[in-house]
Amino acid sequence: MPKTKTQTREVWQDTDDIVNDYIQGILSGVIPSNKYHRLCVERHVDDLQNAKDRGLEFRPEMGYAVYMFCNLTRHFEGPTAGQPFIPEPWELFLIWNIYGWYREDGTRRYRVAYIEIPRGNGKSFIASVLSLYALVADGESGAQVYAGATKMDQAQIIHEPSTWMVQASPALKDICELRVNTISVPSTHSKFKPISSDAKKQDGFKPHFTTLDELHEHPDGKLFDVIRSGMGKRLSPLLFAITTAGFNKHSFCKTVVHSRVEKILEGIVQDDAWFGTIFGVDDENKWDDPAEWVKANPNLGVSITWSDMEDMAKEARDSVTSLNNFKVKRLNIWTTSDRGWLDYEKWKRCPDLGITEEDLYGKKCYGGIDIGNTKDLAGLVWLFPWEDKKIILWPRCFIPKEYAEYRSRRDGVPYLQWAEDGYLILTDGETLDHEHFRDLFLEDCNKFNVQCCGYDPWNFHNDDQELIKAGVPRDKLVEVRQGPRSLSAGMKSLDCLYREGNLVHQNHPVMSWCATNVVSHQDRNENISPDKDKSTERIDLFTAANIAEAVRLIVDPPGPSVYEKRGLITI
């Protein structure tokens, strides 16, 4: 039996009450919130009273229609797999706003929705659900729905879950067709596809709904602008931009979109076509205060566990890199990639075991070579696993004598003093003497039990081939390209080693100087590496140590062999 208008009203009102209770909770402070999300709630309340004068009307039943669609979709992973998606109150508030406000002409109010929220709060999941709603239930014939990102694999983070939701829902499966990278609805000629940020290929699009995921990673606003210009051909289009904070305060996301949303929420700019909210903390200095965590993470206790936050905060207390990552990804605090890697006080406390070169003869070791600039410092570092979990660093440093004199005069870098003290080798001429470098390398190979040596091919010229001709086995030399994917594991390991007092660098002044100059770069997958372009001075010796540790972890990974744990099995 079909529901009467009164019955439908009662069901809708129950859900509306949840939204109103959430609004009152934010305004009263019962539900913790930061400044900008509170301003977002206040904006909605003010619009309920005054937006009619601007030709706007609030229709909560339209938000309810989206809520009912959410119930048709299913979670597809974790402990809730197979269960219907029931939006949390904060998610209902967003849905009520984005889909409930209308203009005088009967089209939806908002054309852009910007949600900035820390990782783990389910932003990509709800983006997938809303993409399916736009495809299936928004009443748009020939709807073009897109999931956009800087790279196709990131765009598929939105698109693939939508595919799985269709497969898990009988109602959706009946009306949708699934093909590679395309979900289509033949009855309305509508399609949903992932797209990457090659803006030139997107001209001619007529998007009805587009999600731009991790907007902070977009190098510029080209894709954003192309989508916006294409939306003019639709009646109620929406660009749904979602992101965490990022490490680039000068990015398009931060300087243009984030900044505009802040001004709208503060009342400096009035733009009825833009909806936005920014979840975060009020006091960045209280990053380890659980009271601030709740403000930034509305799903804390739901999709994010308290124990997980506590564990990550503990890691952040012990590592500069982990601290920056915690602030950005878990608290939505914008920071910069230009961050020093080293805690110098802990570095200085590393033990000096009084190791001599003779103590290292015949001992197993791993090497790293970095020749960043043939006119400046070059590094060869031998890394020796030692007793009690210690790691010994044994550096060899080279620099052309003429350039060492120049840098000592111009910049006061004590290259000449380091050379006099035996920590630095001066080579003749204006550029690095590669033959001298190779000769010393070969001498070390005869002294130490070299397992493997990694090298940065940049500026290494034909040294690898010359060393092979001189008798170094080919498999002892490994090319290690610079970047997070190659160096992250080694750099994170060195970070733990020195913080735990297990890195024995014996206060080698050139190694310590290079380490203090290091600025770390982090990619979107939380891989880190030294950033030579942003580091304050030479870091070559540290990079050589990083390469050596990266090689060691590959050749001799920590932990017992699987065979030691369970023995051999017969198949």
Q: What's the CA gap between 339 and 563, in Å, rounded?
A: 42
Residue 159, CA distances (Å) to 84, 165, 236, 303 in order: 19, 10, 21, 20
| Mean pLDDT computed over 213-221 | 89
- The CATH number corresponding to 344-555 among 3.30.420.240, 3.30.450.20, 3.30.160.620, 3.40.50.970 equals 3.30.420.240
Are 454 and 369 spatial neighbours (Cβ–Cβ below 8 Å)? yes
Phi-psi group of 496: left, alpha or beta (phi > 0 → left; psi -120 to 50 → alpha; rest → beta): alpha
Tokens 């001066």 correspond to 426
Confidence of residue 339 (pLDDT cuts 50, 70, 90): low
Q: Can you give the residue ranges of every domain in the chain? A: 5-279, 282-336, 344-555
| Burial class of residue 265, CB neighbours in 10 A (0-12, 13-18, 19+) | buried
- Where is average pLDDT lowest: 17-21, 152-156, 530-534? 530-534
Burial class (CB within 10 angstroms; exposed 0-12, middle 13-18, buried 19+) of 549: buried
- Per-residue pLDDT at 201 exceeds 90: no
Say what the pTM is.
Answer: 0.68
- Across 209-215, average pLDDT: 95
Q: What is the pLDDT of residue 248?
A: 78
> Which segment of 73-82, 212-221, 439-448 scores lowest on mean pLDDT?
73-82
**Superfamily for domain range 5-279:** P-loop containing nucleotide triphosphate hydrolases (3.40.50.300)
Q: How confident is residue 373, by pLDDT bands cut at 50, 70 and 90?
A: low
Q: How far apart are the first and last CA of the chain?
A: 63
- For residue range 226-237, list pLDDT tens digits in order: 999 999 889 999
Task: State mean pLDDT over 165-186.
Answer: 93
Please say if the pLDDT value at position 3 is more than 80: no
Amino acid at 314: K
Structure tokens at 64: 């309810």
Q: Which of 212, 259, 219, 221 is nearest to 240 (CA)?
A: 212
Q: Is there a contact between 333 and 287 (Cβ–Cβ < 8 Å)?
A: yes
571 has pLDDT over 50: no
Q: Give the pair of three-digit tokens for residue 450.
A: 């070299």
pLDDT of residue 562 exceeding 70: no
Query: Looking at residue 413, what is its pLDDT?
Result: 80
Binned at pLDDT 50, 70 and 90, residue 2 comes out as very low
What are the start-end ranges of the E strands in 489-548? 503-504, 519-522, 528-530
**pLDDT higher than 70, residue 569:** no
Among 26-30, 244-248, 437-441, 452-456, top mean pLDDT goes to: 26-30
Range scoring the smallest mean pLDDT among 39-48, 117-126, 199-208, 272-281: 199-208
438 DSSP 8-state letter: H
pLDDT confidence band for 375 (50 / 70 / 90): confident
Tell me what pLDDT residue 196 has: 86
Of 78-87, 149-158, 492-501, minimum mean pLDDT range: 149-158
Residue 559's pLDDT band, with cuts at 50, 70 and 90, is low
- State the Cα–Cα distance between residues 163 and 132, nearest whole angstrom: 9
Helix residue ranges per DSSP H, 51-184: 60-72, 89-100, 123-136, 152-168, 170-175
Model pLDDT, residue 463: 86
pLDDT at residue number 97? 98
Question: Directed axis angle between helix 89-100 and helix 5-28, to 10°?
Answer: 120
